[in-house]
Amino acid sequence: MLELANSTFRTIGRGDSVPNDVVVPFYLDDRKLRVSVVRVDGRLHAFDDLCRCGGVACPLSSGLLVATTLMCQCHGSRFDVVTGAVIDGPATSPLTIYEAREANGDIQIRPFVAGATEPIHPERLGEQP
Ligand code: FES
């Protein structure tokens, strides 16, 4: 936990590419990972873009966002993008979420454990120690 709290942020894109109340996906090529970012009431929230239930991966960036609740277009699961918690299934696993901030006009994220289904390791985001 301590090493996660001390992990460094990684820049994934420009802040002006994330308007209010829009889900914007970013692809971390070196990690083969899609992370979506939303800005709600001026606060950024980041989470893995792919929803999985029944073995199917569906992009949450195509879902419907209402305040901080995001509904997956595939089967209708609803998630809290702040905590990653499942509000309604069929999904049973929470979203993997990241701590997000804007610095010098860039969107930056780092691992965050709340709502995670498994430990998140900084190397997953390609961070340098
Ligand atoms: S893949 Fe998102 S609800 Fe099934």
Judged against a pLDDT cut of 50, whether residue 117 lies above it is answered with no
> What's the gap in Å between 97 CA and the centre of ligand 1?
17
Mean pLDDT calculated for residue range 113-124:
49
pLDDT tens-place string over residues 55-105: 778 999 999 999 999 999 999 999 999 999 999 989 998 999 999 999 999
CA separation for the pair 32, 24 (Å, rounded): 17
Q: Which residues line ligand 1 (CB under 6 A)?
A: 51-53, 56, 58, 72, 74-77, 90-91
pLDDT tens-place string over residues 43-69: 999 999 999 787 778 999 999 999 999
Residue found by looking up tokens 């809290």 in the block: 80
CA separation for the pair 90, 18 (Å, rounded): 28
> What's the gap in Å between 39 CA and the centre of ligand 1?
22
| Most ligand 1 atoms within 8 A of CB, residue of 61, 70, 74 to mutate | 74
Neighbouring residues of 5: CB distance < 8 A, sequence distance ≥ 6 = none
pTM: 0.81
Q: What is the pLDDT of residue 54?
A: 72
Burial of residue 97, with CB atoms counted within 10 A of its CB: 0-12 exposed, 13-18 middle, 19 or more buried = buried
Mean pLDDT calculated for residue range 34-38:
96
> What's the gap in Å between 105 CA and the centre of ligand 1?
32
Domains of the chain with CATH codes: 2-125 (2.102.10.10)
> What's the gap in Å between 7 CA and the centre of ligand 1?
30
